[in-house]
Chains A and B, each alone.
Chain A
Amino acid sequence: MNLAAQLPVLPIIIPLIAAPLTILLPPRRLKGLLPYVFATLVSWIVFAASAALLHSVATAGPISYHMGDWAPPIGIEYRIDLANALVLTLVSGVAALAFPFSYASIRAEIDDRQLSMFYAMALIAMVGLLGVVITGDAFNVFVFVEISSLSTYALVALGAARDRRALTASFNYLVMGTIGATFFVIGLGLLYQATGTLNMADLKIQLAGESNRMVEAGFAFILVGMGLKAAMFPMHLWMPNAYAHAPSAVAVFLAATSTKVAVYVVIRFIYTVIGADFDFAGAAFNWLIAPLAVAGMMFASIVAIFQDDLKRMLAYSSVGQIGYMLLGVSFGTEQGLSASLVHLFNHGLMKGALFMAAACVVLRLGTQTCAGYAGLARRMPLTAAAFIIAALSLVGVPGTVGFISKWQLLAASFDSGRPWAAFLVVGASLLAVIYMGRVIELMTMREGAGGRTKEAPATMLIPLYILVAANVYFGLNTEMTVDLAERAAVALMGDAR
């Protein structure tokens, strides 16, 4: 076997085979360490493979892998360029931290007997998300979306051991997610009807110059379907409950990856499949995506201010952040696209860190209401410090990743002649100051009930601090993210022409 040639499928096939093996590992022997250690190792291998892919794509250009030796457009093609290599690294990187992180948290929150099943499902959810990102075949995207969604519904429902509302949250998510997937596949069907192909690159060629109602309807269906999955305003209502009631470790992984992957799909379809020069896409930018992005930014941030439940607040903040990403996309310029790719990556880092800190608090204090955070800086100083740094990053303080993505977004809005967008971005950031500041104020200024509590175990604190460090590192050293995102944006725009 030639490892280098097979590299593109390794992130998919390794966890896919590992997942059923995880089911066989005894969940109760050795305190459930076996499935945990096995799944963690798998996630690390996957991360190594993804990093190797990113390196190879950054130095040697896009990779195309033909499934079963069937040449595209007939066969399924895995096509990896800078844009998906970047998202791939984010997803597998967060997974490589979320799996080691999960042990103490998940053992406290779900039934021991379900531990092996939990890790198997988590691996499958990861496969699905990675597959969506890696594939170059439009229908394959749908298949992987379903793989990740179905396992995610079950993962969210596992929160029922702690709070029964997880069941309704999961069911809501199931209904909305299925509607989204159905819309997406209807859109694909229309495009297939128009062109007779499902390969993304081939679709682009076939659709060039084509502009009829069927293609337009197909594009609209795809946009709405993926918008639902991405929790694009106003289709976000499934998300706050799903994140708030899912087991804490699941929320970490989902918040940092799943909506980001859906945003990536939107970008991929707009640029690689439809082509941004397609009149209809241009109209969608100005009259649909931009207004909804702005509405999401403002509305979700305002709603976040009034949340009592910390995880719900973070989820509403995610809806707002998705707005930033879509706003960048809607500029239709290289800079805007690059800004939204940078933010996609950076937001994964900050939301991952915030949800991890929240999981530590749930483990030790058993609460996720904002009021429960009173005096946290004295009770759990390490966790509180991590939360504060991540929160500053979310607000966009210089020296953190949040600043980089907002700076990019501001620059892009001025350069594309949309100064109003810059003011809205700053306005939404001020709202973020209010909702994050409220919690920080509670943590640092107020006296909480009870004295100093034991910190979360090292298995949780180390991944948390690695993510926090990444928030600062990529905030100071922008070479990797911004540089790669700019090149990815140029390549995507090149695709579109």
Chain B
Amino acid sequence: MRDEHLILRVVIKLMFAPILLFALYVQFHGDYGAGGGFQAGVIFAVAFILHALVMGLEETRRVLPIGALRMMMVVGFLFYAGTGAATMLLGGNLLGYDAIAPHSTHHEGQHYGILLVEFGVGMAVASTMLMIFYHFAGREPEIRDEDW
């Protein structure tokens, strides 16, 4: 089994890091150009999906266990909703990012706010994509009666 698909495995190993890097590029460039958290999250997840396709789901699960994914989903979403709520605690309205940097003359707070929100979106999307993939790929072929 280890010797099968040698070329595929080497290529995936080579590609893995650049894909993650590209995801981060899309993530942070999303502020100024095309891209953003959704796309970046999907690209990020693709790296792991490729890994699972070639190395097997068990290997990928060892790298990124399902518990960690659940945590990432929650933390990502909390970044997303929390940024909006944090501005309330800072004295602004919900989603009023100006409250993050109140003395800025050029709405610096808006940039920080959207950066944090996009980070949360990226994390939540990446982990949700992988969660869906794990569940579909790892599904038992026959569902036993008592599992219903």
Give me the interface of A with B, judged by CB distance under 8 Å.
Answer: 1-2, 6, 9, 13, 16-17, 20-21, 23-24, 65-69, 160-161, 164
Q: Which 4 A-B pairs have the closest CB atoms?
A: A68-B95, A20-B74, A69-B96, A9-B94
Question: Is B48 on the interface with A (CB-CB < 8 A)?
Answer: no
Q: Which of A2, A23, A24, A67 contacts B94 (CB 8 A)?
A: A67
Tell me the complex Cα distance, A69–B100, Å: 13
Q: How large is the interface on B (under 10, 10 to 19, 20 to 34, 35 or more residues)?
A: 20 to 34
Chain A residues contacting B95 (CB-CB under 8 Å) are 67-68
Chain A: CB-nearest residue to B145: A164
Q: Is the CB of B93 within 8 A of A66?
A: yes
Chain A residues contacting B92 (CB-CB under 8 Å) are 69
Task: Encode B82-115 as 1/0 by CB contact (under 8 A) with A.
Answer: 1011001111111111100000000000000000
Chain A residues contacting B74 (CB-CB under 8 Å) are 20-21, 23-24
Total number of A-B contacts with CB less than 8 angstroms? 53
Q: Is the CB of A13 within 8 A of B94?
A: yes
Chain B: CB-nearest residue to A17: B81
Shortest beta-carbon distance from B123 to chain A in Å: 12
- Contacts A23-B74, A161-B148, A164-B148 given; does A17 touch B93 at CB 8 Å: no
Question: Is B116 on the interface with A (CB-CB < 8 A)?
Answer: no
Tell me the complex Cα distance, A67–B113, Å: 14
Q: Is the CB of A6 within 8 A of B94?
A: yes
Chain A facing B: main interface SS: helix
Could you write out 11 A-B pairs with CB less than 8 Å apart? A1-B88, A2-B91, A13-B85, A13-B94, A21-B78, A24-B70, A24-B71, A67-B93, A69-B92, A69-B98, A161-B148
Shortest beta-carbon distance from A218 to chain B in Å: 28
Task: Encode B49-90 as 1/0 by CB contact (under 8 A) with A.
Answer: 000000000000000000000110110011001101100111
Chain B facing A: main interface SS: helix
Tell me the complex Cα distance, A6–B89, Å: 10
* Residue from A9, A24, A67, A69 whose CB has the most chain B CB atoms within 10 Å: A69
Q: Is the CB of A65 within 8 A of B93?
A: yes
Q: Is the CB of B96 within 8 A of A16?
A: no
Q: Which of B71, B89, B148 contacts A1 (CB 8 A)?
A: B89
Q: Is the CB of B93 within 8 A of A23?
A: no
Q: Which of A17, A65, A66 contacts B82 (CB 8 A)?
A: A17
* Residue from B81, B84, B94, B95 whose CB has the most chain A CB atoms within 10 Å: B94
Shortest beta-carbon distance from A167 to chain B in Å: 9
- Contacts A13-B81, A17-B81, A23-B70 given; does A68 touch B148 at CB 8 Å: no
Q: Which of A21, A24, A68, A161 contacts B93 (CB 8 A)?
A: A68
Chain A: CB-nearest residue to B99: A69
Q: Is the CB of A68 within 8 A of B78?
A: no
Known: A20-B77, A24-B70, A69-B92. 17 other contacts (CB 8 A): A1-B91, A13-B84, A13-B88, A13-B94, A17-B85, A20-B74, A20-B81, A21-B74, A21-B78, A24-B71, A65-B93, A67-B93, A68-B84, A69-B93, A69-B96, A161-B148, A164-B148
Tell me the complex Cα distance, A67–B90, Å: 15
Chain A: CB-nearest residue to B87: A68
